[in-house]
Amino acid sequence: MGISPNAKRRAAQVVRLLRREYPDATCALNYTSPLELLVATILSAQCTDERVNQVTKDLFKKYRTAADYARTPLDELERGIQSTGFFRNKARSIVGCCKLLAEQYAGQVPQDLEALVELPGIGRKTANVVLGTAFGVPSGVVVDTHVTRVSRRLGLTAQKDPEKIEQDLMALVPESEWIDFGHRTIHHGRRTCTARKPECGECVLGGICPRIGVAEK
């Protein structure tokens, strides 16, 4: 099943309506540097942003540079991030990433998608979050669980694989909107187009949304 011929026009309407609804939507993770955003984004897998922000409040005081993380014993870091879930994998990713950053990039986060996705545990989603939010570089569209669900319901993609969904959205949404579209769609998915109970009657997109896969109440 491909994208409907109306998808481009609908995407333009979605961009306009979400911009009006959430003019200031941005990343809900707290950070003060690209490195902090990278670490917070790794921690946010399968975890709420609120929980990540609680954990990073202390974590970012203790570890300030890539070298700080790189020389930390895994079990010590695991204890610090335990409440975010999947903490063993996350600790391995953070330490592995930071070792490479310290050794190959003078401790700086590279502003380059190809370089970022080469880092341990970093996929396109995390790379797009860091590049778009910390550097303002539109490397792609962030596709998380909210963007996946909302885009499919809106008929902007029929794909299930995040990288294929991203390709569809990059073709439909102007590059200048990629970063904000991601933030706003995530907001919309959290507030209105939720997984279990989408509030179609209250939705700003209600007039244009085909509600694909949404059961009638």
Catalytic residues: 125, 144
Task: For the CB of residue 175, give the shortest distance to ligand SF4 in the complex, in Å.
Answer: 23
Nearer to ligand SF4, 142 or 203 (CB): 203
Using the rule CB under 6 A, is 29 a contact of ligand SF4?
no
- Nearest to 190, CA basis, from 37, 22, 73: 22
CB-based contacts of 57-65 (< 8 A; 24+ apart in sequence): 57/30, 60/31, 60/32, 60/36, 63/39, 65/35, 65/102, 65/107
Q: How far apart are CA 185 and CA 160, in angstroms?
A: 17
Answer for which of 71, 145, 205, 217 binds ligand SF4 (CB under 6 A) is 205
CB crowding 178-206: b at 16 or more within 10 Å, else e: bbbbbbbbbbbbeebbeeeebebeebebe
Three-state secondary structure call for residue 150? helix
Report if residue 10 touches ligand SF4, rule: CB under 6 A. Answer: no
Q: Does 211 bind ligand SF4 (CB under 6 A)?
A: yes
The only residue of 43, 154, 169, 179 in contact with ligand SF4, by rule CB under 6 A? 154
Binding mask 155-194 for ligand SF4 (x = CB under 6 A): -------------------------------------xx-
Which DSSP letter does residue 133 get?
I
Stretch that binds ligand SF4, among 24-32, 39-47, 66-74, 208-216 (CB under 6 A): 208-216
Residue 199 lies near ligand SF4 (rule: CB under 6 A): yes
Write out the H or E segment, with its range, that includes residue 101.
helix 87-104
- The reply on whether position 203 binds ligand SF4 by CB under 6 A is yes
Residues near ligand SF4 (CB under 6 A): 150, 153-154, 192-193, 198-200, 203, 205-206, 209, 211, 214
